[in-house]
Amino acid sequence: MKIITNQIRGCRKGPEAYFTGTVWIDEVITTPAPARVSAAMVSFAPGARTAWHTHPVGQSLHVISGVGRVQLKGEGVQEIHPGDTVWIEPGEEHWHGAVPDRTMTHLAIQESDHTGAFVVWHKHVTDEEYSS
């Protein structure tokens, strides 16, 4: 057993290559092999969002606070609220983030595949896609 205290847990700004707007990522846990789980608390400023991306083994999002948006490629934007949980199937191209006038924080949980990959990033979400 290992207790990871808040004092040693990392926090970093979401890189511009994968996010639009201000995003903060607080690592909850990344497990050593043979376990493959990673979890992070992700906080989005109003209007901030991920780029389009997929997860080889899927992803769970659980909204902690604020109001967010999530979209699967080819489908409409959906709004998500505190207490909502979103399951994204392996390989589904999607994005998620905050609505224009509110922050949003969610817990993101995913597993890596046999190569160690948790996510495959694609192009940024355009303002038109975000507003659709």
Outline where DSSP puts E strands in 47-130: 49-50, 53-54, 59-66, 68-72, 78-80, 85-88, 94-98, 104-111, 120-121
**CA 5: distance to chain centroid?**
22
pTM of the model: 0.93
- The fold of the 11-131 domain, in CATH, is Jelly Rolls (2.60.120)
Query: How would residue 3 be classed by pLDDT, with cut points 50, 70 and 90?
Result: confident
Name the residue among 49, 64, 50 with its Cα closest to residue 118. Answer: 50
* Cα–Cα distance, 84 to 106 (Å, whole number): 9
* pLDDT digits 0-9 by tens, 40-84: 999 999 999 999 999 999 999 999 999 999 999 999 999 999 999
Peptide bond into 56 cis (omega under 30): no
Provide the percentage of residues in the chain whose pLDDT is more than 90.
Answer: 85
* Cα–Cα distance, 72 to 77 (Å, whole number): 8
Domain ranges (residues) in the chain: 11-131
Answer with the residue of higher pLDDT: 52 or 117: 52
DSSP secondary structure code for residue 102 in this structure: S
